């Protein structure tokens, strides 16, 4: 109990101490609080003043940063302007492009960093500088010496310049234009600048293309006067196709390198580009046309070949030279009409010339080949090479309308739809052959000596038949109808019969034996026979028969021998032993040799078997070759 009381007392003492300590602490804290209040009242004005200064300091710092930013921007703008005005320099393409892109962006988003009008003008200047670079590169690729080899070869656009132009063109195509950026203040000026640059491109490429082609065009015209007409026409056709190929290549290049790639802009530039090509085509064709018109007879096949070449190129020309440029004009079609007019005129004129060759001639004529015989064969032998052109032109002319001066009116013949090309060509050749035969018959009848006229007719008809039917040098027989072939064969037989009749019928008549014929009459017939034989020999010395046809001469020789020699043998046998037989000038073998000498080669070699005997007989008779 006492212990517990003691502990309680001890606790009370400790509690009192603790209370005293707490009271002292409370008193101290109260004193601190009073002091803090006093301190706060003293510091608060200073704190407020410091806050104002801090705000002012922040504002001053922000103003300084803005001033620095503005100054920096002004320096950048000056540098960009200097870069734009200087133009794109080597190695600065990317930087130049980036500056223009930023300027365009500032205009598009209406940045307040600079004046919009000044920025637009700067963009315009940059585009002009780029366009000048574009024009310079195109000019470098469109200059120099054009290739001038034997065959045309177009100089392609240099690959290094092409590689340099492609990124430039790609960027130019991204620039603002009125259709895509109607509110952009520089868009109209940019569009105008690009139009001018694209037009310059078309002018330069067109002039270069013309330069590459014009030497070959002049060569075609110059050679047309000296080489074969069909070959010259084919050369012109190749030149026309080369011209179209050049236009195709330039069109592909234009699609790749045109700054303005809209269809209308491409059409306009392409029309400008091909203008020089059209000019050189027109002038070259006009020169050929003038040459043809100057002497249609001489240059008929040049006209036909040119007509064929132009016809075959017509579809390609319309696509490349007309549709792609959205042009209605068709220079090839106009030229084709001009050449076709000459071609159509050539058919009736050719027949009229043959007919005219037989008029106004009389008296002694050569027994050789006439000029119109030779020209007709040359004409017909060349027709297969231009068969399609001839048939097409004849269809246009109309069946039978080539018969000028025979009462046939142009346009009144058979309509083109009623016959095909094969048929109308056969009709024309039938009329040509008939006109030639008719003219030959007329000339042969005007000769004062019918025997020479018959040789003339035989030589010419045989020459025509040989070169068209028997031994053709071209595919002309395939174009001759059966009536034409029958006419040639029939006229050859008639001419040969006339030759036999005028030259050997009088000879054969002397070998006929009358009933009760006296010795003097037989002797007179022998004398008459050899006199006529001498006349025939003299005639054949002057007039060669089938001179250029060895096989025909041999056949003719055999037929004459078979006609004369057996009759002479029979007549001689019937009069063997009579007094005058010993006075016969020649033996039968010598007569045969003499006849064979009529058909000797031009070098004097007679057909077998008696060349030497025939020459001796001619010498004895006082004749010489």
- Element containing residue 25 per DSSP (H, E): helix 2-86
Residue 414, classed as helix, strand or coil, is strand
Mean pLDDT in the chain?
81
Backbone φ and ψ of 521, nearest 5°: -65, -40
Q: 10-residue block means of pLDDT along the chain (625 residues)?
A: 81 87 87 80 76 79 65 53 75 80 74 64 86 92 83 86 91 87 84 93 94 92 92 94 95 94 94 95 95 91 94 94 93 93 92 83 69 90 91 90 64 53 92 92 82 85 90 89 92 86 75 62 72 76 76 77 76 63 64 73 50 36 34
pLDDT of residue 236: 95
Environment class of residue 431 by beta-carbon count within 10 Å: exposed (0-12), middle (13-18) or buried (19+)?
middle
Distance CA 333, CA 420 (A): 23
Six token digits for residue 550: 């060895």
pLDDT of residue 202: 95
Tell me, letter by letter, the H, E, C secondary structure of 195-219: HHHHHHHHHHHHHHHHHHHHHHHHH
Report CA torsion sign: 347, 350, 356, 362: negative
pLDDT of residue 262: 93
CB 239 within 8 A of CB 217: yes
Residues 6+ apart with CB under 8 A from 422: 391
pLDDT of residue 470: 87
Spatial CA neighbour of 274 closest among 310, 308, 229, 324: 324
Q: Return the bridge partners of 414, or none.
A: 399
Distance CA 315, CA 308 (A): 13
Q: Report residue 214 CA to chain centroid gap.
A: 14
Return the CA Rg of the chain. Answer: 55
- What residue spans of 383-449 are helical by DSSP H? 387-397, 421-446
Six token digits for residue 207: 């002039």
Distance CA 556, CA 213 (A): 58
DSSP for residue 128: H
Distance CA 349, CA 355 (A): 10
pLDDT of residue 67: 61
Residues 6+ apart with CB under 8 A from 457: 440, 441, 444, 495, 498, 499
Residues 6+ apart with CB under 8 A from 127: 100, 172, 175, 186, 189, 190, 193, 194
Residue 592, classed as helix, strand or coil, is helix
Q: Return the bridge partners of 239, or none.
A: none
Q: What is the pTM of this model?
A: 0.74
Q: Report residue 473 CA to chain centroid gap.
A: 29
Six token digits for residue 149: 């080899």
Tell me, letter by letter, the H, E, C secondary structure of 524-569: HHHHHHHHHHHHHHHHHHHCCCCCCCHHHHHHHHHHHHHHHHHHHH
pLDDT of residue 618: 35
CB 171 within 8 A of CB 127: no
pLDDT of residue 138: 94
pLDDT of residue 412: 41
Peptide bond into 575 cis (omega under 30): no
Distance CA 297, CA 320 (A): 34
């Amino acid at each position: 109990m006492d212990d517990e009381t003691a502990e309680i007392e001890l606790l009370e003492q400790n509690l009192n101490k603790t209370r005293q300590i707490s009271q002292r602490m409370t008193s101290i804290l109260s004193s601190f609080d009073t002091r803090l209040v006093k301190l706060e009242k003293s510091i608060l004005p200073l704190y407020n003043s410091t806050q104002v200064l801090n705000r002012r300091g922040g504002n001053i710092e922000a103003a300084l940063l803005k001033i620095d930013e503005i100054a920096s921007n002004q320096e950048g703008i000056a540098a960009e302007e200097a870069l734009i005005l200087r133009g794109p320099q080597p190695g600065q393409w990317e930087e130049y492009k980036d500056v223009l892109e930023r300027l365009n962006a500032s205009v598009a988003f209406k940045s307040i960093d600079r004046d919009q009008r000044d920025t637009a003008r700067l963009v315009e200047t940059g585009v002009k500088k780029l366009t000048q670079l574009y024009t310079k590169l195109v000019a470098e690729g469109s200059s120099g010496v054009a290739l001038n080899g034997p065959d045309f070869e177009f100089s392609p656009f240099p690959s290094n310049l092409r590689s340099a132009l492609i990124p430039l063109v790609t960027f130019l195509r991204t620039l603002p234009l009125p259709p895509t950026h109607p509110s952009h203040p520089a868009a109209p000026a940019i569009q105008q600048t690009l139009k001018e640059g694209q037009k310059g491109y078309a002018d330069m490429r067109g002039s270069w293309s013309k330069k590459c082609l014009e030497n070959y065009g002049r060569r075609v015209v110059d050679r047309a006067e000296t080489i074969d007409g069909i070959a010259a026409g084919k050369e012109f056709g190749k030149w026309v196709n080369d011209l179209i190929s050049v236009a195709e290549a330039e069109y592909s290049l234009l699609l790749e390198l045109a700054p303005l790639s809209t269809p209308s802009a491409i059409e306009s530039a392409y029309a400008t580009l091909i203008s020089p090509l059209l000019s050189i085509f027109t002038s070259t064709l006009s020169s050929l046309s003038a040459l043809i018109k100057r002497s249609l007879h001489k240059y008929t096949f040049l006209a036909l070949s040119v007509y064929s070449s132009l016809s075959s190129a017509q579809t390609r020309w319309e696509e490349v030279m007309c549709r792609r440029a959205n042009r209605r004009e068709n220079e090839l079609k106009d030229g084709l009409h001009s050449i076709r007019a000459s071609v159509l005129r050539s058919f009736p004129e050719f027949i009229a010339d043959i007919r005219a060759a037989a008029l106004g001639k009389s008296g002694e004529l050569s027994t050789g080949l006439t000029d119109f015989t030779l020209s007709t064969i040359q004409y017909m032998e060349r027709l297969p090479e231009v068969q399609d052109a001839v048939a097409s032109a004849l269809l246009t002319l109309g069946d039978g309308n080539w018969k000028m001066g025979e009462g046939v009116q142009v346009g009144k013949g058979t309509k083109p739809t009623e016959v095909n090309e094969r048929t109308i060509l056969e009709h024309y050749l039938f009329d040509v052959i008939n006109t030639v035969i008719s003219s030959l018959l007329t000339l042969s009848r005007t000769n004062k000596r019918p025997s020479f006229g018959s040789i003339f007719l035989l030589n010419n008809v045989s020459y025509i038949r040989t070169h068209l039917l028997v031994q053709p040098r071209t595919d002309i027989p395939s174009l001759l109808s059966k009536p034409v072939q029958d006419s040639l064969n029939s006229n050859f037989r008639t001419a040969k019969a006339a030759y036999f009749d005028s030259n050997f019928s009088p000879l054969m008549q002397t070998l006929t034996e009358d009933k009760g014929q006296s010795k003097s009459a037989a002797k007179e017939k022998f004398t008459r026979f050899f006199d006529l034989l001498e006349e025939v020999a003299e005639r054949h010395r002057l007039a060669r028969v089938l001179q250029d046809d060895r096989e025909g001469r041999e056949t003719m020789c055999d037929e004459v021998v078979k006609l004369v020699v057996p009759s002479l043998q029979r007549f001689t046998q019937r009069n063997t032993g009579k007094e005058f037989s010993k006075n016969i000038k020649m033996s039968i073998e010598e007569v045969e040799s003499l006849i064979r000498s009529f058909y000797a080669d031009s070098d004097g070699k007679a057909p077998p078997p008696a060349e030497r005997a025939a020459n001796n007989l001619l010498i004895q008779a006082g004749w010489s070759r």
